[in-house]
Amino acid sequence: MKMEALDVLKNRRSIRKFKQEQVKDEELALVLEAGTYAPTASGTQGCKIVVVQEEESLAAVRKLNAKVLGRPSADPDPYYGAPTILIVFATPESHAPHRDGAAVMTNLLNAAYAVGLASCWIDRPIQMFEMPEGKALLKKWGLSEDLQGVASIALGYADMPDPQPKERKADYITWIK
């Protein structure tokens, strides 16, 4: 699927119901590559994108996110049953960890829509990866414990129609000229 860039930016919506079918590797590769081309402060590329698809790790991430929400279990699942979870981290090299990570996030979300995948920004990795359970996951994945969680993405194929966007607020833009 090839879409015009401005259509992608306007039409991408958060999807909160996913099919169980795993995303195709070739589509995921395009999404991840787009993420790596996001702007970063001073061009450090100070982010890391972790792709979680293995069952035990998916369950652990869902549970840890739910724990930050104050829920005793991952039911309801904060990732809406998505078969892939992307987690964006900032590395110690980043000059602007949360802003770099957010730039990577928006590239990933828009690229996902452009290739026909459904996605939703899922919050709370900041807290998740400050917790001992989060540090243990980083260790299990062979990653440095000094990575800072920024945000995550539920990724898969939509099992619901695209929601309608809210009207844009009238005073969103101010011109000074």
Ligand X SMILES: Cc1cc2nc3c(=O)[nH]c(=O)nc-3n(C[C@H](O)[C@H](O)[C@H](O)COP(=O)(O)O)c2cc1C
Contacting residues toward ligand X, per CB under 6 A = 13-14, 16, 120-123, 163, 165
Closer by beta carbon to ligand X, 2 or else 168 = 168
d(CA 141, CA 138): 5
Closer by beta carbon to ligand X, 96 or else 121 = 121
C-alpha distance from residue 39 to each of 18, 31, 36 (Å): 29, 15, 9
Residue labelled with tokens 């929601």: 163
CA 116 to chain centre: 16
Min dist CB 37 to ligand X, Å, is 20
Residue labelled with tokens 């607020």: 169
CA 135 to chain centre: 19
Min dist CB 11 to ligand X, Å, is 9
Give the start-end residues of each E strand in 38-77: 47-52
Closer by beta carbon to ligand X, 46 or else 101 = 101
Closer by beta carbon to ligand X, 11 or else 45 = 11
Min dist CB 108 to ligand X, Å, is 12
Min dist CB 152 to ligand X, Å, is 8
